[in-house]
Structure 1
């Protein structure tokens, strides 16, 4: 069952990130070509991620591969290892008690 679930996750990832949901043609050869090219793209992005031992996700590596396809390998590596200029603090928690008190003041006015 565990292996079946991993296969399901693999196909979900491929459909989401490699545009396998919408096919350009329904001829048998075109569908097979689309599947093989998607598998090649998946394998290349996985090999690059494993070879470079980057902490980035496979999706981030694939996006960079697409963006830097016509650039040099050094430019791709620079983009892959770039340190973010800003740090996101993420979604900030709101003080619910304070928010309720402010709403009550507005209602009482």
Structure 2
């Protein structure tokens, strides 16, 4: 069934139909109910085919929901790649928010520190250098310089190896 679409929007077509009974050689189709296909042209010019089992909502609403869902997917991909969060330590919304906030703060502090120095060009190399010197009290511009020996006190015994 072809449904009417607005000529001014980004919706190209809106159709309702059934999927084939067999999806592959020996695989049966789990969807025996009618599905809806909404074709949308996005900002880049690509055409997306969105399949949905919602037969009642307007096509514009389905496209808007998909767009918001895709923005959430991109955010979590960025979180995994940039903030290096592979899994969440808690299951509650508060635990996830706190873990993302802490990772964002650490990321921003690292970016600000990298912007202040000029000795290390690569962000990954700088992050590794900071991680290696995290417990040392040193200035950022002196992280690459070798550490000097601790000051010698005449009151402390020294061993000659």
Q: What TM-score do the two structures reach when normalised by structure 1?
A: 0.52
Cα 1:55–1:66 change in 2 (3 A) is: closer
- Deviation above 6 Å: which 4+ runs of structure 1? none
Comparing both structures, which one devotes a greater share of its residues to strand?
A: 2
1:28-55 deviation line (CA, Å, top 9, x unaligned): 1110011101111110111011111344
Gaps of 5+ in 2: 1-42, 44-73, 147-161
Structure with more contact order per residue of length (Cα contacts < 8 Å, sep ≥ 6): 1
Quick check: which has more Rg, 1 or 2? 2
RMSD between superposed Cα atoms in Å: 3.0
Within a 5 Å distance, the mapping from 1:64-83 to structure 2 comes to 64-74=129-139, 77-80=141-144
Aligned partners of 2:82 and 2:122: how far apart in 1?
A: 12
Gaps of 5+ in 1: 2-7, 83-109
Q: What TM-score do the two structures reach when normalised by structure 2?
A: 0.37
Shift of 1:81: 5.9
Comparing both structures, which one devotes a greater share of its residues to helix?
A: 1
Number of positions where the alignment pairs a residue of Structure 1 with one of Structure 2 = 74
* Secondary structure of the corresponding residue to residue 91 of structure 2: coil
